[in-house]
Amino acid sequence: MGKFSKKAREYSFVSLENMIADIVQEYDDKNDIGIILSWNEVPDFISALISTGKFKIRSLDWNYPESCGYDKEYCISLINIDDDEIYLEKCWIEKKDMYCNCLGENDITFVSQNVSKTLYDKICNESDNIILFWY
């Protein structure tokens, strides 16, 4: 087992491009997708998703920690009813000092091995179809 070992399946992708292709296939099969990432993984994932030509940005709430002071995890949501739009939101509610339920009703949640164990445990308690990934 990897760093975490609850009910998630663990998967190592050959590359980010390979992972994005699998995510797009799942999305095309009408699955709503959540992708939980550390702050520094976000730019590469957003760029890779947009470069497919399939998705457009709806809402991006991201900035470098030096600029905004936020250095925790983010959630990318790809929801089929939203015309192929990408949503990005923070997973941590600073005013309440806690992780939010940023998953909604995703069919599949991809979770980076770089997230905190606290967030990972919360995701495992609230979701069933989880893929813990690295590449």
Q: What is the pLDDT of residue 4?
A: 47
| Residue 102, pLDDT score | 67
pLDDT, averaged in runs of 10, over the chain (135 residues): 60 95 95 94 96 89 82 91 86 86 80 93 85 90
- Whole-number CA gyration radius for the chain: 14
- What is the helix, strand, coil percentage profile of the chain, to 5? 30, 30, 40
User: Of 46, 77, 86, which Cα lies nearest the Cα of 63?
Assistant: 46
Could you tell me the CA-to-CA distances from 40 to 68, 81, 116 in Å, in that order? 13, 28, 13
| Sequence spans of domains, the chain | 10-134
- 90, β-bridge pairs: 74
| Of 84, 102, 87, residue with least CA distance to 30 | 84
Cα dist from 37 to 40, 42, 43, 74, 83, whole Å: 8, 6, 10, 5, 23
What backbone phi and psi angles, to 5 degrees, belong to 36? -100, 125
Specify the pLDDT at position 1: 40
Neighbours of 132 (CB within 10 A): 26
